[in-house]
Amino acid sequence: SSVGVIGLGYIGLPTAAILADHGVTTIGVDVSERNVAAVNKGEVPFVEPGLREVLERAVSSGTLTATTQTPTAEAYIVAVPTPFTEAHAADLSYIEAAADGIAGKLTGGELIILESTSPPGATEHLAQRILAARPDLGAEDILVAHCPERVLPGRIMEEMITNDRIIGGLTPAAAEAARDLYSAFAKGEFLLTDARTAEMAKLTENSFRDVNIAFANELSVISHRLGIDVWELIELANHHPRVNILQPGPGVGGHCIAVDPWFIVDAAPEESRLIRTARETNDAKPEWVLGRIEQALESAGPAPTVALLGLAFKADIDDLRESPALQIAQTLAERAPQAQLLAVEPHIQTLPAALSGFSNVALTDLDEALQRADVVVLLVDHQVFKDLPAARLGEAVLIDTRGIWR
């Protein structure tokens, strides 16, 4: 049997590599010729610990190949992006394009799994789109399921195998077929349900986290006003057996937690008041951090140097998507042309597009940034920053948004 994995990004590529590494003939599909060429050479186009070894093994054993064309296969896994529009609604165009590619290849009896995070109803939409393109097929000729991916970037290779999996079939038969496919490698529990509940479950998990991080971020703003160390406060409160507060930071980034709650708000706007407020609270945090930096700049002389430590959306990855650190760097570059900004991001080699247009921004190494900075802003709790001895921080004004230097 063979599986086509549509989309070779942060989820699709590890999925394809692990499937193939477990002996399943796997064909990866991506619109980017460059990605396809890289994968066929066993190269990973992004940072994910442990992925390269598995990919190399799968490619050299011949079980994994990559192409830009949707192949004929017995099963398909769709792992394409679901970004959101200006109006905070889900953009299903990548899912639709994947559906169109698959539709042309079907002979009947195929399993189609949507893994992309999706608003309620997206799996039905995918099935309807395929059936509209293929009037010769009936609903009973395709097995369609939603199996949301819940692996944590940075720990994907482990979690993809060990996590429990929610499997939502449009029909019970589709759910069972999807379970059989995943049992090739997944060792966690399989939780069978319908597609709509599966879609909502994934959105609910990320909204749970967003709401709880918003609580921590609100506490940090309150604590700052009241002259209280929020990290000590949370540590103390968390000693209570039924309290478990998350960590405040410069905001919430990534392509999941900063996005998924909006899909719930969009689906039920009147009823999603808490979820919306949490999103707005977290989205407002970069602006609050900027205010603190601008305050520090006022007393730092006419041409201050600011070290910005970290640009990624969280620790020890190279992913800049929806990154509050990047947003803070870009806004500061615009608003403080008199300041020289030294961005330190050990996981990337060149300034990202969002910053490359500014003459007052440079990507430097940690040593240079610490030597020259009047103000040091810690934005990401990368291990290299945590390992810094306090003496290295010198005389600069410190703004530690992650509480690692207390």
Residues that are catalytic: 202, 256
Q: What is the DSSP secondary structure assignment for residue 79, as one 8-state letter? A: -
Cα 225 to chain centroid distance, Å, stands at 32
Tell me if 95 contacts ligand SAJ by CB under 6 A: no
Question: Rounded to an integer, what distance in angstroms lies between the CA atom of residue 269 and that of residue 108?
Answer: 39
Which of residues 18, 130, 142, 252 is near ligand SAJ by CB under 6 A? 252
**How many chain residues interact with ligand SAJ (CB under 6 A)?**
20
Helix H segments across 321-365? Answer: 324-335, 353-356
Contact 28, 16 (CB under 8 A): yes
Smaller CB separation from ligand SAJ, 52 or 321: 321
Which of residues 313, 343, 360, 403 is near ligand SAJ by CB under 6 A? 313
The terminus-to-terminus CA distance of the chain in angstroms comes to 55
Which of helix, strand or coil describes residue 5? strand
Pairing of strands 190-194, 165-169: parallel
What is 97-141 written as a DSSP string? HHHHHHHTT--SS-EEEE-S---TTHHHHHHHHHHHH-TTS-GGG
Which of residues 196, 209, 224, 372 is near ligand SAJ by CB under 6 A? 209
Smaller CB separation from ligand SAJ, 149 or 374: 149
In the complex, residue closest to ligand SAJ by CB? 256
Which of residues 181, 213, 265, 308 is near ligand SAJ by CB under 6 A? 213
Tell me if 101 contacts ligand SAJ by CB under 6 A: no
- Going through 163-312 in order, the beta strands assigned E by DSSP cover 165-169, 190-194, 305-309
Smaller CB separation from ligand SAJ, 143 or 213: 213
Tell me if 89 contacts ligand SAJ by CB under 6 A: no
Tell me if 94 contacts ligand SAJ by CB under 6 A: no
Tell me if 67 contacts ligand SAJ by CB under 6 A: no
Which of residues 7, 9, 81, 253 is near ligand SAJ by CB under 6 A? 253
Smaller CB separation from ligand SAJ, 170 or 203: 203
Question: Rounded to an integer, what distance in angstroms lies between the CA atom of residue 326 and that of residue 347?
Answer: 13
Tell me if 256 contacts ligand SAJ by CB under 6 A: yes
Tell me if 153 contacts ligand SAJ by CB under 6 A: yes
Contact 257, 210 (CB under 8 A): yes
Of 41-49, 137-145, 151-159, 367-375, which segment contacts ligand SAJ by CB under 6 A? Answer: 151-159
Tell me if 257 contacts ligand SAJ by CB under 6 A: yes
Of 108-116, 148-156, 263-271, 332-340, which segment contacts ligand SAJ by CB under 6 A? Answer: 148-156
Of 169-177, 180-188, 190-198, 247-255, which segment contacts ligand SAJ by CB under 6 A? Answer: 247-255
Phi, psi of 103 (to 5 degrees): -55, -40
What is 269-301 written as a DSSP string? GGG-HHHHHHHHHHHHHHHHHHHHHHHHHHTS-
Smaller CB separation from ligand SAJ, 150 or 165: 150
Question: Rounded to an integer, what distance in angstroms lies between the CA atom of residue 189 and that of residue 165?
Answer: 6
Residue 264 identity (one-letter amino acid): I
The first and second tokens of residue 202, run together, are: 């994934």
Of 249-257, 272-280, 352-360, 387-395, which segment contacts ligand SAJ by CB under 6 A? Answer: 249-257
Bridge partners of 9?
A: none
Smaller CB separation from ligand SAJ, 256 or 370: 256
Question: Rounded to an integer, what distance in angstroms lies between the CA atom of residue 361 and that of residue 337?
Answer: 9
Smaller CB separation from ligand SAJ, 151 or 399: 151
Counted residue by residue, the chain has a size of: 406
Enumerate residues 6+ apart whose C-beta is below 8 A from 190. 164, 165, 167, 179, 182, 183
Tell me if 233 contacts ligand SAJ by CB under 6 A: no
Tell me if 320 contacts ligand SAJ by CB under 6 A: no
Tell me if 214 contacts ligand SAJ by CB under 6 A: no
Site for ligand SAJ in 165-194 (CB under 6 A): none
In the bound complex, what is the minimum distance in angstroms from residue 205's beta carbon to ligand SAJ? 4
Which of residues 14, 101, 254, 261 is near ligand SAJ by CB under 6 A? 254
Site for ligand SAJ in 105-144 (CB under 6 A): 117
Binding footprint of ligand SAJ on the chain (CB under 6 A): 117, 149-153, 205-206, 209, 213, 246-247, 249, 252-254, 256-257, 313-314
